[in-house]
Chain A
Amino acid sequence: MNRRVYWQKYGTLGIFILLVIIMSILSPEYFFTFDNFVQILLQSAITILIALGEFFAILIAGIDLSVGSVLGLTGMVTAYLLSHGVNMFLSILLGGVVLGALIGAINGNLVVFTGLHPFIVTLGGTTIYRGITLMISDARPIYDIPRDFGSIISGDFFGIPTPIIIAVVVAIFLAFITRKTRLGRNIYALGGNEEAAWLSGINTKLLKIIVFIISGVCAGLAGVVMVARMGAAEPLAGSGYETFAIASAIIGGTSFFGGKGKVFGVVIGALIIGLINNSLNILNVQTYYQQILMGALIIGSVTLDKFLGTE
C-alpha cells in the first residue's frame, strides 16, 4: 500500500477526524457533547440526502444542478397535498418520491435524447422547476401543515431524530447498490468509459435515466424532510443547495471525471460541511466567513487530492 491508496481510503475521514479534534480542543464544553453531535447530524441530514443523489450524477461524469430546485418543488407539492387533507404517507409518496422520480426521469431523458451535457440540461431544469414552484404556490409559503407530520418526520425514534434515520437508511441502501449490485457496477463502468460500457452490453441510455431518477428521489426526500423541519414549505427552499451537494461529493473524494467515489466518502463530505457550519456558529463566526471557508475547503481538498492522490 502506498500513499495514494491510503489517501483515497482514509483521506476524507482523516480530515473529518482532524476537524473534530480541533473543535473539541477549541470548545470542549459546547462542541464535544452528545447533544451537539446529534445536532450536527440533524443539520446535515438534508445535505446528505441531496449529496447522495448528486454523487450518482457525478459518478457517471455528469452533474445535477437541479437538486436544490427539486427539493423546493417536491417540498411545496408535499405541503400542498398535506394542507388539502391528503393522507400523510400518500403525500410523502406522491409529493416527494414519485414527483422526485418523475423530475429525475425528465432530466435523464433530456440528457439521453438531446445528447446535451447534463450541466446544460439541469441548469435549464433548475430555473424551470423553481418557476413551477413559485407558480403553484403563488410565491407564498404554505404553513397549514398537520402537526402529526412535523412530529413524526421531524420527531425522533428512540431518541434519534427521524431525519437522521432517513438519511442513514438511504445512505446504507445506496451503498448497498454501489457495492453489491450489478446496477452499481454498471454505473461505475459507465462513468469509467461509456463506449466500453456500451459495447460490453450495458444499456448506457437507460442507466443514465436511472441515475437521474436516483438523484431526483433523493432530492424529493430532502424536500419532505425540509418541510417537516421548517413546519412550512417555502417557495425558495433549497435555493443554492446544489453547491452543498456538489461540494459534499467532491470533498468526499468523488472524481469529477466520473467513475470514482464512494457513498461513505460523500456522507463524510456532507458531515464535514455540517461540522464546519456548526463549529463556526459555536465560535460565533459570521455567516459570510462560513461561506468563504467552505469555498476554500472545496478548493483545498481537491488540491490535496491532486498532490496526495496521484503518484
Chain B
Amino acid sequence: MAESFLVEMKNVSKSFGGVQALKNVNFSLRAGEVHVLLGENGAGKSTLMKILSGVHNLSAGEFFIKGKKCTNIQPKEAQAKGVSIIHQELSLINELSIAENIFLGRLPAKTKYTIDNKKLYQDTEKVLARVGLKNINAETTVENLKISQKQLIEIAKALSLNSDIIIMDEPTSSLTFEEINKLFEIINNLKKDGVGIVFISHKLDEVMEVGDRVSILKNGEYINTVQINNTNPDQLVSMMVGEELSSSYKHKEKSTAGDKIQLKVENLNKKDRFSNINFEIYTGEILGFFGLIGAGRTEIARAIIGADKKDSGTIKLKNKIVNIKNPYHALKKGIGLIPENRTEEGFCDNLTIWQNSSLPYLLKTSSLSGLTGLLHQKREKQIAVNIVSALNLKCSSLNQSVLELSGGNQQKVVVGKWLEAGIDLFIFDEPTRGIDVGVKHNIYSIIERLANHQKSIMLISSELTELLSVSDRIAVVHEGKIVEIFPISSANKEDIMYAATTGKSKMGVNN
C-alpha cells in the first residue's frame, strides 16, 4: 500500500434478513477530499455509511479506519476513531434544547454533578455561527424549529465533534440554496484542514460542484469510482441507472391549464406567519411556489387544508366559498397535502406499506369523519401495487414496515398514497426530497399527467430548476407574502431569486 487512506472498505456485504443490501462493495476515503456516493434509492449508500459509523454490523468483508482494522464497532467507538455522521433522517430529540442536542453525552461539567450551562450555551453559539444560524437562541427546544434549521443543527453537531471523517447523508435535501452555499463553504474549509468527507446527494449539480471523486452503487453492488473532473452528469446517471437517461428533465410541450378556477385563496392571514395571501389555481394548472427558508409556504398550505387554523381569509373551490375545518374536510372536498417531512408527517411506522398507502383512499370513501366503513384488503393492496409500479418502489414485500425502506423509497409511499385517493387539488410540499434522478423524472411526469387530467397542482419546492421545468406559473413567497407570480414565459432564475431574497419585484409591480 503506497497510499494511506483515512478509510478503506473491502468487499463489504450486508444483508437484512433475506434482503441483500450490499454485495462486495469497495470504498476508500483520502484526507482532504470529498468522496461522493451516488446511486438510486435503495442502492445501499446509507447502509454502507451506517456500517462505517458503527450503526450496523457488516455481514462479510472488512474495513479500516486510519489503517486500523475494525470489526463490529459500536457508534461510540466509531466516534472515538474520528468518524461522525449526519444521518439522512433527522435524529434530534425534539424535547431537548438545541444546545443539549448538540452536546448530548458530552455536556460540559461544572462540578462532578452539575452542568456548566454558561459554557454549554457559549460553545453552542459558536458552532451555530459556523453553520450560519446566528439569530437563534441555544436554549430553544428543537421541536419548535423548521426542518431546515434542524438539518443545520445536525450539521453543527457533526462539526462540534471535530472529527476528521465526516459523513453527510443527503445533508442538503431540506436546505435552501443560501444554506447550501454556506455548507459548501464549510466543506471547503474542512478540506483544507485535511478532513475527509463522504457526501451523499441525488442532486447532480451539487455533486459536480463539491465532489473530488465519486463512487457509484447500484442494487447494492459497487459499479465504479471516477474523478469528478473526468465525468459529467449524463455519464453519472447512466452508470447509476444502467441505461441512457438524460440528467435534465424535458420541459413539457405546452400548458394544460384550463380556464376554470379550481381554487381561489383570498386575503388569507395568520399572525406572524403570512399575510394577505391571494392567488388562484386553474384546473389543469401547475402553480409553483418558490421561497427561502421560513418564507411561509408550508404554513399557507397547511392553513388551506385546515391542518392549522388561519386568522382570516376565504377559500373558494370552483367559485364556491368553502369552510375547511380540518384535513378530513379538505380530503372530502378533493384536496390533499403531501407533506415535506416524511418521517414526522408522512407515514405511520406501525403500519405496513399497503396499509399506509390506502389511508387517504379509505378516508375519502368513508363518511362521518372517517368513522364508518369496513376495510377492503384486496382494494388496498391493489393501491399499493399501483404505487409500486407507478413510482418504481423498491421493497421486498408489501407487508414490510415503511421504516425498513431506504429514504427515497419511503418518500415514494408518502407521495404515492395520495395518487389513488380521488383528489382534484394536490399540494406537493417538496415532493422530490431525497429521490433519485430517475424517479424524480417519474414524479414530474406523474404531476404532469395529473395536470393533463385537469387536476390542479400547487407545487412547493426549493429547487428552482424543478419549478422552472414543470410549473405553468411560479409564485414567489418572501416572509409570509407573495411578492410576485411569474407566468412561466417570463420567468427566469435571476428575477425569481431577486424577488425571493429581497421581497421586491424587479418590475416594480406587485402582483
Contact = CB atoms under 8 A, between A and B. Distances in A.
Interface of A: 2, 179-186, 188-189, 191-193, 195-203, 206-207, 210, 255, 258-260
Contacts of B344: 193, 195-196
- Most chain-B CB neighbours within 10 Å: which of A180, A184, A202, A255? A202
B412 interface: no
Contacts of B346: 196, 199
Contact of A189 (B330, B345, B359): B359
A142 B122 CA distance: 67
Contacts of A193: 344-345, 347-350
B374 A259 contact: no
Interface stretch (B234-242, B362-370, B486-494, B495-503): B362-370
A182 B373 contact: yes
A200 B327 contact: yes
B371 A200 contact: no
B363 A201 contact: yes
Contact of B350 (A206, A207, A259): A259
Nearest to A206: B369
A250 B348 CA distance: 21
B496 to A, nearest CB: 28
Given A201-B360, A203-B326, A182 B350 contact: no
Interface of B: 17, 305, 307, 326-328, 330-332, 336-337, 339, 344-351, 355, 359-360, 362-364, 366, 369-375, 417
A280 B346 CA distance: 49
Contacts of A2: 17
B348 A189 contact: yes
Contacts, number: 103
B145 to A, nearest CB: 15
Nearest to A184: B375
Contacts of A197: 348, 359
Nearest to B305: A199
A198 B363 contact: no
A203 B370 contact: yes
A254 to B, nearest CB: 12
Nearest to A190: B348
Contacts of B417: 200
Contacts of A192: 348-351
A183 B371 contact: yes
A196 B331 CA distance: 14
Given A188-B351, A260-B350, A200 B375 contact: no
A201 B328 contact: yes
B328 A202 contact: yes
Contacts of A202: 327-328, 359, 363, 370
Contacts of B349: 192-193, 259
A182 B374 contact: yes
A201 B330 contact: yes
B370 A181 contact: no
